[in-house]
């Protein structure tokens, strides 16, 4: 990290990397409050507050694994697919990959100036703010989705409505020593160009 205070935020952004398996300690309640306050500091067109956050921790998080497993079985029945033991077990246990998981939901509403895509974009910005705040506080994190994120039964079990969207499951916790990946600087490549007005037509 840079000693220059002005660079600290930039260092956090450039060093954030996903860590797939996290252990204790989890962010404290006060730190989680800070992380979620950072989330709601994201740009929000017309201040519609389209975000929702559901915190899964402790025994409630373990119990939610059963909801994910049941939802998987119901999707298999719906799709006339044979459930696999491996996937069922994965659904039941996957929240165990971190001591706290924050489900970030978007609850867009009809608005004459702010289409749904902008409201979901605001929630995605909130999710990234949360990851960056967690990184700044020294925690590891990972943003995941998967089929459960699009399952109406999972949404309603969380207290969201079926019309809401799950933008991500944010896994938060502490990386085991030596398991935090080194941040490799991303290359911009050819995704940036400067627009210039077209020159005069040549004949
Ligand atoms: C909306 C969204 C959903 C994602 N869902 C998953 C997921 O379900 N599983 C996964 O392995 N990575 C998922 N990722 C990607 C990881 O969060 C991560 O960004 C990626 O592995 C690159 O690693 P990095 O964050 O260290 O750059 C998702 C990312 C986004 C933005």
Give pLDDT, residue 1: 47
Element (H, E) at 11: helix 8-15
Best of 87, 144, 175 to mutate for ligand 1, by most ligand atoms within 8 A of CB?
Answer: 144
In a domain? residue 193: no
Q: pTM for the complete prediction? A: 0.95
Would the pLDDT of 132 be above 80? yes
Domain that holds residue 117: 19-56+96-173
> Would 51 be classed as within a structural domain?
yes
Residue 166 in any domain: the answer is yes
- Residue 5 pLDDT class (50, 70, 90 cuts): low
* H or E element at residue 144: strand 140-144
What whole-number percentage of the chain has pLDDT above 70? 97
Confidence of residue 177 (pLDDT cuts 50, 70, 90): confident
Measured between alpha carbons, how far is 27 from 87 in angstroms, rounded to an integer?
A: 29
- Tens-place pLDDT, residues 66-123: 999 999 999 999 999 999 999 999 999 999 999 999 999 999 999 999 999 999 999 9
Mutate to test the pocket of ligand 1, among 12, 132, 142, 151 (most ligand atoms within 8 A of CB): 142
199 DSSP 8-state letter: -
108 belongs to a structural domain: yes
Closest CA to 106 of 44, 60, 153: 44
**Within a domain: 90:** no
Q: For residue range 29-38, what is the model confidence (pLDDT) as tens digits?
A: 999 999 999 9
CATH of residue 156: 3.40.109.10
Within-domain flag for 64: no
pLDDT at 33: 98
CA distance 19 to 12: 15
Please indicate, yes or no, if residue 149 is contained in any of the structural domains: yes
19 CB within 6 A, ligand 1:
no
State how many domains the chain has: 1
Percent of the chain with pLDDT over 90: 88
pLDDT at 43 over 50: yes
Q: Is 1 inside a domain boundary?
A: no
Q: Which residue has the tokens 């399952």?
A: 151
Least confident segment among 20-24, 27-31, 155-159, 186-190: 186-190
Do 21 and 177 meet the contact criterion of CB atoms below 8 Å apart? Answer: no
- pLDDT(201) > 90: no
Residue whose CA is at the smallest distance from ligand 1 atom 28? 144
């Amino acid at each position: 990290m840079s000693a220059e205070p002005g660079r600290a935020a930039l260092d956090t952004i450039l060093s954030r990397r996903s860590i797939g398996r996290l252990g204790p300690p989890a962010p404290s309640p006060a730190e989680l409050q800070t992380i979620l306050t950072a989330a709601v500091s994201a740009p929000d067109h017309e201040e519609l507050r389209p975000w929702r956050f559901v915190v899964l921790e402790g025994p409630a998080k373990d119990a939610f694994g059963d909801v994910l497993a049941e939802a998987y079985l119901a999707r298999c029945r719906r799709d006339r697919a044979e459930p696999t033991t491996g996937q069922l077990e994965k659904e039941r246990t996957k929240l165990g990959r971190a001591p706290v998981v924050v489900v970030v939901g978007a609850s867009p509403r009809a608005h004459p100036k702010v289409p749904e895509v902008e409201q979901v974009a605001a929630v995605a910005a909130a999710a990234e703010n949360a990851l960056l705040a967690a990184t700044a506080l020294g925690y590891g994190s990972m943003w995941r989705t998967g089929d459960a994120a699009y399952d109406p039964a999972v949404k309603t079990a969380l207290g969201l409505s079926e019309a809401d969207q799950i933008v991500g499951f944010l896994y938060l916790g502490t990386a085991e020593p030596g398991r935090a990946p080194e941040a490799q600087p991303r290359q911009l490549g050819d995704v940036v160009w400067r627009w210039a007005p077209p020159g005069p037509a040549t004949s």
